[in-house]
Amino acid sequence: MADGPARGVDFRDYEVAARERGCLNYSFRDLNETCLMMNEDARYADRPARIAVIDYGMGNLRSVCKALEREGAEAGIVTDPEAMKAFDGVVFPGQGALGDCVASMRENGMDEALRRWIAAGRPYLGVCLGLQALFEHSEEGDTPGLGVFAGRVKRFRLPAELKIPHMGWNEARLLQEDSPLFAGMDAEAGSFYFVHSYYVEPADRSLVLCETDYGHPFVSGVARGHCFAVQFHPEKSQSRGLTLYRNFISVVGWKTRLPG
């Protein structure tokens, strides 16, 4: 039996069943238990989640697309904000300079499209720069961000024995233990692959999904509602990273079927 919502299911069926079971908050655990009771219903057709991978002119997008497709999604590279409307979820990967990234998005209107997408509660997963861009300001080039969340992006200031950029495998301690993004993974620290010289400092600590140590603890992931973002690269993080992508695909499949 499947352990999550069936692909192609109308989410309202789950919502009604969850309400009948007294699950009023629709947490991941509540919905998972409800879905276990319903996924074998033959009425539910199979339709992969469609995920847009944002292209702003930088980053290895094919590796992200391949990881999503391996886990069962339909992934498409998107440069035009209008094209996003054909998709159920968004992954915004990135590497390089945040200033160039934000400038490119402002040039074609992708910045405002992403703000509207997140404000509407549609599934979003930011990776590396896709995390940093969500905040108000970055020390990198004195760059204003998208301002989705209050906070800033700071450069590492570390003892000489610690190299910058922070590069390689490191652990991420999960703080939001019920997060669907980490479903099936141990809540204890697990390793992911990092490459970065800057880190986010949210004004609101309730945003923090996970933390990592490099010279000092820093925020390596945030989450609120259906908006998730991580500093590490899931597509470079072997089986653990693929599990994270698979979990995001599940979130996309569920949110797609919410009424309205």
Task: Give the active site residues.
Answer: 128, 233, 235
Give the C-alpha separation, 70 to 91, whole Å: 15
HSE-up of 232 (CA within 13 Å, CB side)?
Answer: 31
Residues 6+ apart with CB under 8 A from 118: 124, 134, 148, 227
Letter string b/e over residues 117-147, b meaning 16 or more CB atoms within 10 A of that residue's CB: bbeeebbbbbbbbbbbbbbeebebeebebbe
Distances (CA, A) of 148 to 59, 115, 129, 188: 22, 7, 14, 29
For residue 65, what are the β-bridge partners?
none
Peptide bond into 165 cis (omega under 30): yes
For residue 46, what are the β-bridge partners?
none
In angstroms, the first-to-last Cα distance of the chain is: 29
Q: Tokens 């992006």 appear where?
A: 153
